[in-house]
C-alpha cells in the first residue's frame, strides 16, 4: 500500500504521524488537563476518574458517507466528528472527559490533512470539554475516523450522579427541543446545489459547525429533566426511539417546530420536511412535566415545546405528526438509517 506523505512528499510512518499530531498547538490544552496521568505513547492512556460513574460513547465517520474527502474541509470534518460524540454526552446531561481517536489512513494522505482535522477536533474539545489521550493509526483504502469519548454524569445536590435517558418519557410530559431544526440538512442541500447567497452560507455553516448542547444538557438534568436524546438522525426517527424505549405515543405539532428564517427563505414550504427528517442538527429533544417545562421557559434557557406524550403503555411506541389543521401528517423521510443511505 502506498504510504502517507507530508507536503514535501516525505514518507511518514505511523509513529511519526502520531508524534506530529501530538505536537500540534491545538493539542496543548491536554497539558493543562491534570486528569491525564499518561497520555499518547504508551500501551494505554491512564486517566484519573472524576466521578464514581462514567459515560462511554463512540461514533465513526467514513469518507463518502459522512463527509467527502474531495471537499477538503478537514477542520470542519474534525469539528463535526468531535461534536457527534460530544452531543451524545450532552444528551445524557454529562460532562466530556477523554477521547481516543482511530485514523484509517488511505494511500497518499498528507500530514497536513490530519493536522487540519486534529485542529478541528481539538477546537471543539477545547470549547466544550474533553481531550484526546490516545488512539490508533491503521492503513485503510477507505478513509475513516473513529472517536471514542468518555464523560461523567452531572450530580444532584446530594452529590449523586444523574442522567437523562430515552426510557423515561411519561404520559402527560411535554416534548421540547433546544433549538431550530433542519438547518444542517438545508446546509447540505445548499452545499450540493452550489448555493452561495448569505442564507445558504449560514445554513452551510450550521451543517459544518454544529454545537453540542453540553451546557443546556447540564442545565436540563440539574433542573430535573430525566428523558432526553440528541437529534442526530432526524427529529421523527429519533423521537421514535424515545417512544419505543419508553413505550409511549408522542404527538408533535408540526407548526411548533422551530425553524430558522434562513431555512424558510431558502426552502419555503419544504423547510418543515428538512426539520422533520434531516439529521445532524445535534439539538437535544427532551420530555418533562408541564410545571418543570414552565420553570425552564420562565428561566429563558432557550427551549421550544413541540408536542406532548399523549399515551403510555404502548409497546413499540409511536410518533404522530399533526399539521396546522389538526390532521395527521406523514413525513416524506423520518430520519437516517446508517446502513441504508
Closest distance to a second copy from the beta carbon of 114 (Å)? 11
Place of cell 471543539: 124
Closest distance to a second copy from the beta carbon of 322 (Å)? 25
Closest distance to a second copy from the beta carbon of 20 (Å)? 12
Query: Based on CB atoms, which residue is closest to a second copy, 49 or 255?
Result: 49
User: Residue 11 and residue 219: Cα distance in Å, rounded?
Assistant: 48
The residue among 149, 115, 170, 129 whose CA lies nearest residue 32 is 129
Which of 32, 298, 332, 339 contacts a second copy by CB under 8 A?
339
User: Residue 207 and residue 292: Cα distance in Å, rounded?
Assistant: 31
The residue among 326, 206, 215 whose CA lies nearest residue 278 is 206
Which of 27, 30, 45, 181 contacts a second copy by CB under 8 A?
45
Which residues, numbered 302-331, are part of the site for a second copy (CB under 8 A)? Answer: none
Contact 22, 135 (CB under 8 A): no
Which of 130, 153, 182, 210 contacts a second copy by CB under 8 A?
153
Contact 225, 146 (CB under 8 A): no
Q: Does residue 59 bind a second copy (CB under 8 A)?
A: yes
Closest distance to a second copy from the beta carbon of 324 (Å)? 31
Instruction: Give residue 32's region: left, alpha or beta (phi > 0; psi -120 to 50).
Output: alpha
User: Residue 286 and residue 302: Cα distance in Å, rounded?
Assistant: 13
Which of 23, 49, 193, 323 contacts a second copy by CB under 8 A?
49
Q: What are the residues whose beta carbons fall under 8 Å from the beta carbon of 32, sequence distance 6 or more?
A: none
Which of 7, 9, 32, 42 contacts a second copy by CB under 8 A?
42
Which residues, numbered 87-126, are part of the site for a second copy (CB under 8 A)? Answer: 87-89, 91-92, 94, 98, 100-102, 104-105
Which residues, numbered 241-300, are part of the site for a second copy (CB under 8 A)? Answer: 241, 245
The residue among 308, 185, 172, 312 whose CA lies nearest residue 253 is 308
Piece of 21-29, 82-90, 119-127, 187-195 that binds a second copy (CB under 8 A): 82-90
Query: Based on CB atoms, which residue is closest to a second copy, 148 or 305?
Result: 148
Amino acid at each position: 500500500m502506498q504510504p502517507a506523505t507530508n507536503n514535501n512528499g516525505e514518507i511518514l510512518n505511523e509513529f511519526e504521524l502520531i508524534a506530529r499530531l501530538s505536537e500540534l498547538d491545538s493539542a496543548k490544552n491536554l497539558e493543562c488537563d491534570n486528569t491525564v496521568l499518561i497520555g499518547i505513547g504508551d500501551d494505554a492512556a491512564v486517566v484519573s476518574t472524576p466521578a464514581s460513574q462514567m459515560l462511554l460513547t463512540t461514533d465513526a465517520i467514513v469518507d463518502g458517507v459522512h463527509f467527502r474527502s474531495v471537499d477538503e474541509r478537514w477542520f470542519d470534518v474534525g469539528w463535526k466528528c468531535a461534536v457527534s460524540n460530544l452531543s451524545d454526552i450532552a444528551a445524557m446531561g454529562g460532562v466530556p472527559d477523554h477521547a481516543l481517536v482511530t485514523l484509517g489512513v488511505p494511500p497518499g494522505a498528507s500530514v497536513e490533512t490530519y493536522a487540519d482535522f486534529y485542529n478541528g477536533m481539538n477546537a471543539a474539545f477545547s470549547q466544550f470539554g474533553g481531550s484526546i489521550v490516545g488512539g490508533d493509526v491503521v492503513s485503510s483504502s477507505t478513509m475513516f475516523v473513529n472517536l471514542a469519548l468518555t464523560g461523567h454524569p452531572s450530580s444532584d445536590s446530594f452529590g449523586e450522579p444523574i442522567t437523562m435517558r430515552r426510557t423515561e418519557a411519561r404520559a402527560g410530559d411535554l416534548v421540547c427541543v433546544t433549538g431550530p431544526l433542519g438547518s444542517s440538512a438545508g446546509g447540505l442541500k445548499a452545499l450540493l446545489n452550489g448555493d452561495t447567497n448569505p442564507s445558504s452560507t449560514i445554513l452551510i455553516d450550521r451543517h459544518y459547525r454544529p454545537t453540542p448542547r453540553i451546557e443546556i444538557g447540564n442545565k436540563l438534568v440539574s433542573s430535573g429533566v430525566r428523558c432526553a436524546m440528541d437529534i442526530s438522525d432526524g427529529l421523527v426517527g429519533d423521537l421514535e426511539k424515545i417512544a419505543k424505549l419508553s413505550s409511549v405515543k408522542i404527538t408533535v405539532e408540526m407548526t411548533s417546530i422551530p425553524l430558522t428564517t434562513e431555512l424558510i427563505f431558502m426552502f419555503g414550504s419544504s423547510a418543515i420536511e428538512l426539520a422533520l427528517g434531516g439529521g445532524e442538527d445535534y439539538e437535544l429533544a427532551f420530555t418533562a412535566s408541564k410545571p418543570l417545562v414552565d420553570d425552564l421557559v420562565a428561566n429563558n434557557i432557550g427551549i421550544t415545546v413541540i408536542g406532548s406524550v399523549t399515551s403510555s403503555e404502548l409497546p413499540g411506541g409511536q410518533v404522530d405528526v399533526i399539521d396546522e389543521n389538526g390532521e395527521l401528517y406523514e413525513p416524506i423521510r423520518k430520519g437516517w438509517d446508517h446502513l441504508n443511505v
